[in-house]
Chains A and B, each alone.
Chain A
Amino acid sequence: MREYTERIREAAKRLLSEQRVDTVIGFRRGTVPFMNEPFLVKSVDQVDQLYWDSNCGINLANYLPKRTDRVAVVAKGCDSRNIVVHLLENQIKRDQLYILGAPCRGMVDKRRMMADLKGKEPLHAEENGKEIKVSGRGFQVTFDRQTYLQSNCAICTHRNPVVYDELLGDPVEEQQGVDRYPDVRRIEAMSVDERWRYFQELIAPCIRCYACRNACPLCYCPTCFVDESRPQWVGKTIDPTDTLTFHFLRAYHVAGRCTDCGSCERACPVGIEVRKFTKKLEKEVKELYGYEAGVTPDQRPPLDTFKPGDPEPFIK
């Protein structure tokens, strides 16, 4: 990870001083353990703030739509797939972008480490290859990085950027034989009543802060359906009907576009596994159209195109 930090800084310095780009989007080191801050570098003297470690789970493709400058962006496998989606949806132009591809071994799950600390507060965290050393008042714990990967990273099959201008390191081995959907199948196997209860319990803590939506690179609509006010479409209370409407509709809006980057789940302040919704639709799109979002820059998303050869078994 330290090598990436050095390479990002080197590339940013080079690109800015050669005037290849106007700005660089990366991360700077966070002020609290397991957190880093998305950061826009505008000049060479800010370059040394750029930083990389296993806490860069926020998807930087989220910061690209509507940019008018020439921008370099650090992109993990998932971020690069979201860049592809942006390109397909005309949210940014390829010639504006300089993609610093970051072959990725996965980001770590803050929430699971916190849970295993059982109330002890981490004050420092230092990463050392395969281990994360965490310390606080009167304790020191070592976490195995691989064991504490974000759940989306643990089942990721696109760790290497699919589009880039230069790579920050050698490509990493892709994970083989991954079963991406055991949890979705469990939900599918439930009875209708069980499933309804499951969804209601899943979203019960939701406070309608929209962190999941706003952390998502796909949610760039000028006005989200929940924010329509003339007339209003969706109630704004924390009544389960309103809240489920928001989560279900959001999931449908990202069907065939979601790259399972996990930003939504990472951003949620109350720990809701919002990917349970999006993964179901990812699975459907894969089964119905054989399509994975953001992998092929020249293939339009299945829900905004028509092909006579689509399997379409749902049309009887």
Chain B
Amino acid sequence: MSDIYISRGKFPEIIGQLMARYRVYAPVLKGEYHEFAKIEKTEEADLGYQNTRLSPKGLFHPHAERMFEYSLVKDDPQAGILKEAPKDFSPRVVLGIRPCDAKAFQLDDVNFDTTAYQDPWWVRRRQTTTLIGLACNEPCGTCFCTSLGTGPFDTAGLDVLLVDTGEGYTAQVLTQKGKDVVGITSGWESVSRTVSEKMEGLRKSAEDSLGRQFDFDPIKQKDMLELFNASFWDEVQFACINCGTCTFLCPTCWCFDIQDEVWGDKGDRIRLWDSCMFPLFTFHGSGHNPRSQKLQRVRQRFMHKLKYYPDKYHNGAACVGCGRCVKFCPVNIDIREVVRRMSATCVCPA
């Protein structure tokens, strides 16, 4: 299917047509920042946004998800039996997601959807959700997607890619799901040569503005223990306060904890975001903690993203360069600097 185009004025109609058939999630300004939320009116969708403060991972892997519920009523024959908590799996469109965040879901799939195990909620949400991306015409100063194999116009994780060309949007339909979604909308035109050239220009300027900020490849070649035992971790970890900002904002941090919460004679089994920055994350029932030190925890986060994951899945780094952790780390620990240190050929002092 060749690219199609719609003028800015007519675009709300497209959103309206989507809302008639799908639950539509889009960037919505809430307080001082944007987040993905279900929209009830077309004008709530703000595609002029830069990016959401929290990544959209919560759409598939919520911060606190009720998995099961159970009764503890005495004499109830059903007491203590876990029952799946009701969830809405009706068809959904995520509109305006950035290419980096969409790519992140593919990187997360290796955890939630494997040949041995399928996480039922992640998998069903992935199946019933269509991702309509929005290319980044003006990446942030903290973005580094092009240095990790994705990019501001990357189509890899998307079903449709929209490009804002000023007077309107072009749409590149990439998958059958994308075709189905675009199929229910009307009002599109063919892309004129001027628009097509403009789109190419936007792509080039966005990619050029990012450049290649570091070379990730040497990390793949390096010996894992050499990196694990490197002396630079001591300097990297000093400022860290071990909060969960980086992991909670990150689109590829998928770790969770499972807890039971009981209220009277009813109980819920809940899955919660967890963070390798927290000492409790690795605290054993025995009282032993294999990562009791801050250095160990900081190293784990970077090693997981940049060494263990690439070595295990041969899928590149578990980082898409969205830059959220760079922007919001309270003490300015910058993953780009860490990559440079990890990839430097010699880590010994001069």
Interface residues of A (CB under 8 A from B): 30-32, 35-40, 58, 62-63, 111, 115, 119, 121, 123, 136-137, 205, 207-211, 213-215, 227, 229, 232, 235-239, 266-271
Contact = CB atoms under 8 A, between A and B. Distances in A.
Contact of B141 (A30, A123, A207, A214): A123
Interface in B130-147: 138, 140-142
Given A32-B142, A207-B248, A269-B330, 15 more contacts: A31-B336, A32-B327, A37-B331, A37-B333, A58-B331, A63-B238, A111-B32, A208-B244, A209-B245, A214-B241, A229-B280, A229-B283, A232-B259, A236-B259, A270-B33
Nearest to A58: B331
Contact of A270 (B53, B140, B238, B275): B53
Identify which of B54, B248, B278, B331 gathers the most chain A CB atoms within 10 Å of its CB: B331
Contacts of B249: 269
A211 B243 contact: yes
B180 interface: no
Nearest to B350: A45
Nearest to B333: A37
Given A37-B331, A215-B330, A266-B330, A62 B241 contact: yes
B178 interface: no
Nearest to B325: A269
B270 A209 contact: no
Given A37-B239, A270-B33, A237 B244 contact: no
B315 interface: no
A115 B270 contact: no
A35 B329 CA distance: 9
Contacts of A62: 241
Contact of B334 (A31, A115, A210, A211): A31
Top 7 A-B residue pairs of the complex, sorted by shortest distance between their CB atoms: A267-B330, A209-B244, A211-B243, A214-B241, A237-B64, A37-B332, A38-B239
Contacts of B326: 31-32
Interface of B: 30-33, 48, 50, 53-54, 63-64, 138, 140-142, 235, 238-239, 241-245, 248-249, 257, 259, 261, 270, 272, 275, 278-280, 283, 326-328, 330-334, 336-337
Contacts of A271: 31-33
A137 B244 CA distance: 31
A59 to B, nearest CB: 10
A39 B239 contact: yes
Contacts of A39: 238-239
A170 B30 CA distance: 44
Given A39-B238, A269-B53, A237 B330 contact: no
B141 A205 contact: no
A36 B332 contact: yes
Identify which of A137, A205, A239, A269 gathers the most chain B CB atoms within 10 Å of its CB: A269
A203 to B, nearest CB: 12
Contacts of B248: 207, 209, 269
Nearest to A124: B141
A23 B253 CA distance: 34
Given A32-B327, A37-B332, A229-B283, A207 B63 contact: yes
B243 A267 contact: yes
Given A207-B248, A214-B242, A214-B243, A137 B138 contact: yes
5 contacts: A215-B331, A235-B259, A237-B270, A238-B63, A267-B243
B64 A209 contact: no
Given A123-B141, A229-B280, A236 B257 contact: yes
Nearest to A23: B238
Contacts of B280: 227, 229
